[in-house]
Each structure stands twice: as structure tokens, then as C-alpha cells.
Amino acid sequence: MFMPPKALLLALATIHLWVVAVVGLPTGFIENAGQFPRHIRYYVIRSNGMFYVTARGYGYVLWDTAGRQRSAACRLEMRALSSTHASLEPDGVLPTVLNFYHAHHRIEGVRMVLSIRLRGLFPGVDAIIRYTPSGRIKCDYILSPGVDASCIAFRISGAVTTITPDGRLQHTTPVGTITEAAPIAFQGTTAIPARYQSDGQILRFTIEGPYDRNRTLTIDPEIEWSTFVGGGLTDQIAHVQTDPARNIIILGRTQSV
């Protein structure tokens, strides 16, 4: 979904209005305590976009930082084709507490977590979205015994989605590309061949190898942040100023580029 300069996403507009008072922000998911629309439950901010988690899946907001379409933004969303909403269970609460300040009010004591479990995203299927030690994001799908992988289905919006020859999922938008690594399925330490199946709008998984349907099965793709840079290491704010258009200009230094 391409958004022209005068119709930016609410999430993007909100980013321009809020300042997070933190130095050396660690890697983790930030809870939404009023910074964004209510359907966004947790999120990660990067230098040219954000990744967010909802009770129906996950999505991205990307904005152009290369000057191709100044102030343009795009949203890519993966929405579960399920009649239920998942119950979100955060895990690995970090000691960092964030405070957000606005011209008229503030939000204090916001938590950061290392992972979020979407319990019941599909019948018999939980999703665990987590950070890896290398700073990448993984989304593990945990299938209960007897559940078929074909029940996992997402509607893709906001991008042209293709499967590359090496099995990766590539989302192309007007302002950048997001790639998800080829899926790996396993039971215990046994790897089981798996692949994406997509017509460009609906995403599913296909398990190609034999496995024990009486045991739990895990499908484990990884999001490759080829478009997102920054945010994983220390970022320090030295000065904050607004311009006539009410954009916030932050001066400082970063080790995340």
C-alpha cells in the first residue's frame, strides 16, 4: 500500500510526534501503551521503518530514506486468515523502561521484551516472534500434534510477493524490499523439508518430507532485514529540534548503521 506525502500512515505520523527518552536502546520489542493505534501490540523501530505485531499477525511500515520519493511511506501486512484473534504473551522482559513525551502528555514505564507468543493464531498453532542473538527477527510456528501445516494462511497486502529460486519469500514495495528466509521445519533435531506456497496474495506452508503427526512440528523462517538498517546497537541522542513542518530532527550518533 503506497502512501503519498499528504496521506502518510498514522503510524508514520506518530513517529514524527513522539520522542523516546532513552540512550543505548537494547534490542527488543516495545509494547504499545498508547504510542500507536491500538491494534499494534508490540513494535520495533529502525532507521527507515518499523516492524509491528498484532493479534492477527505482523506487518511493516517502510519509508523512503534514499530520496526516491521523499516523505513517502508504504505498509506491508501479513494478516492471518483465521476467525480468531491470538492471545499475546510477552516473554523475556528487559530491565529497560522507556518514557515517551508528547507536546500535551506523556507515556511512562513502557516495557521491552525479547519475544512474543501469539497463542492460537490458527487452530492448534502458536507463533513465537523473537530476536536471535545476531539481532534478526524469527517467527516460529508451533503446530500441535495432529495439526496440518496447510491451516497456516496469511493474506499479504501492500507488496508484490514472489518466491525466489532458492526458496526465499521476497516482498517488493515502492520504497524497499523485505526478504524472509526459506522455511525450515523440524521435530526435535530432525530437519524436515518445507517450502512457501504463494499466489502473491495468500501465503501458506507446504511440508515436503515425512514427519510424525503425533508430535509437535515447528516451522522456522527468518526475516532478513535487507531493507532495515540500524537499531540493533547503541544509539545516542545529543539534541532534538523541530522544523516548521513539525518534523522532529534528532542529532546524535549511532553504531547501528
Q: Where are the domains of the chain?
A: 2-254
Average pLDDT estimate for 229-238: 46
Q: Is the pLDDT of residue 199 over 90?
A: no
Do residues 106 and 98 touch, judged by C-beta distance below 8 A? no
31 versus 177: which is more confidently predicted? 31
Looking at residue 223, its pLDDT comes to 57
Looking at residue 25, its pLDDT comes to 56
Q: Is the pLDDT of residue 102 over 50?
A: yes
55 versus 105: which is more confidently predicted? 55
150's grid cell: 496447510
Residue 214's pLDDT band, with cuts at 50, 70 and 90, is: very high
d(CA 100, CA 25): 13
Do residues 204 and 153 touch, judged by C-beta distance below 8 A? yes
Looking at residue 20, its pLDDT comes to 43
Q: Determine whether 120 is exposed, middle or buried from the number of CB atoms within 10 Å of its CB (0-12, 13-18, 19+).
A: middle
Q: Burial code of 173-191, b = ≥16 C-beta within 10 A, e = fewer? A: bbbbebbbbebebeeeeee
β-pairing verdict for 125-131 and 137-143:
antiparallel
What amino acid is encoded at 245 in this protein?
A: A
Q: How many other CB atoms sit within 10 Å of the CB of residue 226?
A: 11
Average pLDDT estimate for 39-47: 88
236 versus 191: which is more confidently predicted? 191
d(CA 169, CA 236): 34
d(CA 34, CA 32): 6
Looking at residue 140, its pLDDT comes to 93
Residue 73's pLDDT band, with cuts at 50, 70 and 90, is: confident
d(CA 182, CA 163): 9
Rg (CA), the chain: 19
DSSP state of 146: T
Residue 213's pLDDT band, with cuts at 50, 70 and 90, is: very high
